[in-house]
Every structure is written in structure tokens, then in C-alpha cells.
Chains A and B, each alone.
Chain A
């Protein structure tokens, strides 16, 4: 599979096979049917998130009536979110997501660059280590994670979540950045070096800008998975004010009188921006996720 070269544009051109001439008469109807089916399936996959929005806009007194759309549209839950208690949890989520993204940037960038440019002792060992990490899931070892941070006294702290999310997203970032750096010709960098830019000058002026799509993909991907992470946060953050948004929303659900409208307003705020962000990097993510596994 050639998806190892992440930046290749050609990889996204569909392999369309030509139709025999005789079948030319039908294509309009066929295309229409295909399009209709594709839109329908697209709608099915969007459906739960549309429902989420509908409930967030439904006034509390209408919640227990069996109807599709609210009689009156009520934006108070979304507007009131920012002054409610969940706003603090949103802040925690932001801290965790931004923190782990920065951590991944600082740690993965040099490692990916160096392994792409230099052959050193332990290089393949390092790459295997990264590959194994990609196969590991924090859920599987949440007991170990809990024990470790318990011993460090870091339970119920934003720092432990930043470390864990950073660590588990490192693999993806290293793989995708490694692919980008490898695809940039060494000569380009050397030319800049000879022109008197110095080693770091060449790196920052030439290589890094060229690898920017990869860097952005790695950053957004880390941000989203840290933002969405649930199990470790559920285990490590014990006090309500230290819980990221998903955990807070989840404990909301366990209460006796569930404020569904508020819950779904929070879900909308936690979900919709992420879907839009993800759409920006979608093309490169598949390459990054599968690249490591087949190298």
C-alpha cells in the first residue's frame, strides 16, 4: 500500500474503470441513484449529531413528549452553558488538549526529524517502540496508569492527563512527521545550509515550512484525541472541578433528575467543533494511522 508517502496527491484520485460503450445510455440514472444512496448514508451517519442539536434546542418541559421537533426553539441551554458550572470543565478540557498537543509537538518533532535524516544505533529499535505504542490503548492499562500516578501523587491533576494523552498520541505524530521529513529532499536543506543559514536555519526556513501540513495534521489529531479521551480522565480526575468535559457530562447523566437539555448543549459544544476540525485533516489521517503498521 502506497499510503506510506503521506503527502502524495495522486493517491486520492479514484481508480475509475471505464464503462463499456454500450452502457453509456444509462449513466445519468445510475449516477443519480448512486448519489441518492450516498447522501442517504451520509445522513444516517450524521443523524445522531443532528438529534443532539435538536435536543439541546428543545425546552425542558417538552423533553418528555414524543415528537421530532421542538414546538418552541430554545437557545438558552447553549447560551447559558458559558455561565454554568460546565464551563469550568470545558476549560479543563482545553488545558488538557492544548497541553498534550504542545507536549507532542516538542517531543515528536525532533525525534521524527532525526530518525528521518540520520541513521543511528537504535534507530530501528526506536521505530519499533513507537509502533508498539501505537497498538497500545490507554484503556487496556488504565489500572497501571492509575497506580503509577497514585504513587507520584498526581491523581486528580491536569498534568497527569497531559502526560498520558501526550504519550499515547506520540506514535501517530512521529509516524506522520517522519513520512513528511523523509519526503523532503535532503539536498534542499543542504543548499540552504551552504547558503549560510546554519543547520537550524535550514531546518526552520526550509524543512519545517515544507512539512507544515504534516505538523498541522499531527497537532489537530492529538488535540482531538486528547479532547475526546474518556477512560483515563474518568479514572484520574476525582473532583468535579478537575474533570474534563466528557467526564463531567457523563457524571451529569448519572444524577437523579437529568438536565438533558443542558447535557446535550454540552455535548454539542464538545462535539461539533471537533467534527469540523477533523474534516480539515481527514485526508492525511488515514495515511498516518496505517503507515506505521505496514512499514
Chain B
């Protein structure tokens, strides 16, 4: 009886994980070996036809490359920006609590809602980002007498009535921007928690030794921040790789598949060919594992070098 006791306490949790997390993984792999009709009827085992078809898609290679770029770009930018923000928000200043609180919003809000607002803000006619560009341009022209179109920064924000989400070249940077925007808050908070664990006397000692601020940051803060940084970056990587709502709400991966990542492609395929979509999921899954292993290797390698 005593032996069965743990089962009563822990059993339900195991059962729930098995039913909702493990089972779908098995089902996903199994489906990738099957030909399934649009109505969900399994026709036959057709391994490896789904994979062959997937790899033969003419956009497949581009999509995979884009997925990696998407993840690496967002995680890198997020980490760099968050390191700076954590440093800033760790300073003492009046109203720090309120300022930190404002930072929470994109983390708490649903990513889909954020993406929808950004889509609106990028509206070529009435979007706020276009308004900023227009007003800034007028301001520059009035005050400095410079023709706004000659300024690189302003024209990168889009020309008059240019639909920035309509072309891959301008849409991708905005999608990545939104990806960074929703990832920075959590990362900053994780780094702030990490900063809080660094004992003050370490800095005291550095000061005694006459180390400069830059030097202190590089040799003390950053190495001591590494555990927090590694975990935050890893969690970010998982989130970004599986990030669906940003691209889906803003461009649907269009034009063509020019802004699609593997997750978007998987979803598009789901309605056309479930088996092939499952194959895409399996490839996706493998990719997450590979990226994770590479990331952990790199961060360990850093530790050995340091």
C-alpha cells in the first residue's frame, strides 16, 4: 500500500502530461508516416512519401533558412537590448517601480493582440508609424530645411502609402522587430533577477583594485550573469522558434511563402495535407533540438574560454 502512495499524489500529473504532451508527439510522428485524407481518414502507410514531398517543395529550403535567421536574429537582438535595459532598470531612480511595470505589458499581453496592433500601426495610410514618419519629416523640413526624402532613416520607415507588410524585404524587419519587442520584457526581467544575485562586495573589491566601469562590467557582471543569460536565451529560443501569431496575424507568411517560417508553413500545410504537415512538425522538432544543443555547446565553450 505504501508503495502505491506516490501514485495517488503524482499520478494525475503524470497522466495529464502523458495525455496532452507525450501522446501528441507520438501521434505527430505517426501521422507523418501516413496518408491522411482531408476529412481525417487514414488511407495508408506511405512512409517516406510525406517527407519526400516536403523536401521537394520549392520553398522548403528558403523557409528553413528563414526560420534559422528568424530565431538567431530575434534572440541575439533581444539579448543585447535586454542586457542594456537590465543595466538601466537596475539603477536607482524615483519611479523605478512604475517604469519597470510599464515594461511588463508586451510580456503579459497576448502576442496575437500585440501583432494585430502592430499591423494596424503599419497601415500605409492611417497607421501610427506612418504618422510618426510624416510628422517627423515635416518637423525636419521646417526646422532644418532638409528634404525628408533625403534622410535614410525616415525613408527606411517607408515611403508614402507604401505597404510595408506587403513586400518581404520590408515586412521581415518589422516582423523581427515585433518578435524582439515581445521577447525583451521577459529577458530583461530574468537578467534583473540575475543582477540582483551578484553580491555588492564583488563590486567593492573591483573598485578597490581600481577597475574601470567597462572593465568591471566585462570581467565581473557579464560572467556572473551567464546562468541567467543562458536560461533566458534558451527560453526565448523555444518561444521564438514556435512563435506563430506574429507572422500569422501580420502577413500570413505572404507574399507567397516569402515571410513564412517553418511553423507557419506547417500550419498552412495542415489544411492541405495533414501527413506532410506532420512531417514538417517532425523536422521542426528536430531543428529545435539541434539549435538547443548547439546553443548549449556554444555557451559552455564560452565558459571554458573565459
Contact = CB atoms under 8 A, between A and B. Distances in A.
B109 A290 contact: no
Interface residues of A, number: 102
Interface of A: 1-3, 11-18, 20, 31, 34-35, 37-39, 41-43, 45-46, 48-49, 51-52, 55, 63-68, 103, 106-108, 110-111, 113-115, 118, 120-123, 126, 129-130, 133, 135-137, 139-148, 150, 163-164, 166-168, 170, 174, 224, 227-228, 230-231, 235, 246, 249-250, 253, 260, 263-264, 267, 270-271, 274-275, 277-279, 282, 285-287, 289-290, 293-294
B222 to A, nearest CB: 14
Nearest to A48: B117
Given A13-B196, A51-B128, A120-B6, 14 more contacts: A1-B193, A1-B231, A2-B197, A3-B193, A38-B96, A51-B120, A140-B242, A140-B288, A141-B21, A143-B28, A147-B24, A275-B104, A275-B108, A286-B186
Mostly, the A contact residues are helix
A158 B61 CA distance: 38
Contact of B12 (A110, A135, A144, A267): A110
B285 interface: yes
Contact of B228 (A43, A114, A274, A290): A290
A152 B111 CA distance: 30
Nearest to B197: A2
Interface stretch (B70-78, B140-148, B200-208): B200-208
Given A41-B88, A41-B103, A286-B193, A144 B278 contact: yes
Contacts of B5: 120
A147 B8 CA distance: 29
B134 A66 contact: yes
B113 A139 contact: no
B125 A114 contact: no
Contact of A107 (B13, B21, B131, B200): B13
A114 B197 contact: no
A271 B113 contact: yes
Interface string B85-110: 10011111111101111111111111
B102 A42 contact: yes
A163 B110 CA distance: 20
8 contacts: A31-B93, A49-B117, A67-B131, A140-B241, A140-B242, A143-B274, A253-B116, A289-B186
B116 A267 contact: yes
A150 B21 contact: no
B270 interface: yes
B107 A278 contact: yes
Contact of A45 (B26, B185, B193): B185
Interface of B is mostly: helix
B90 A14 contact: yes
Nearest to B288: A140
Interface stretch (B52-60, B165-173, B232-240): B232-240
Given A111-B9, A163-B19, A274-B108, A66 B126 contact: yes
A251 to B, nearest CB: 11
Contact of B193 (A123, A174, A253, A287): A287
Given A110-B9, A137-B239, A144 B281 contact: yes
Contacts of B277: 143
A224 B9 contact: no
A144 B238 contact: no
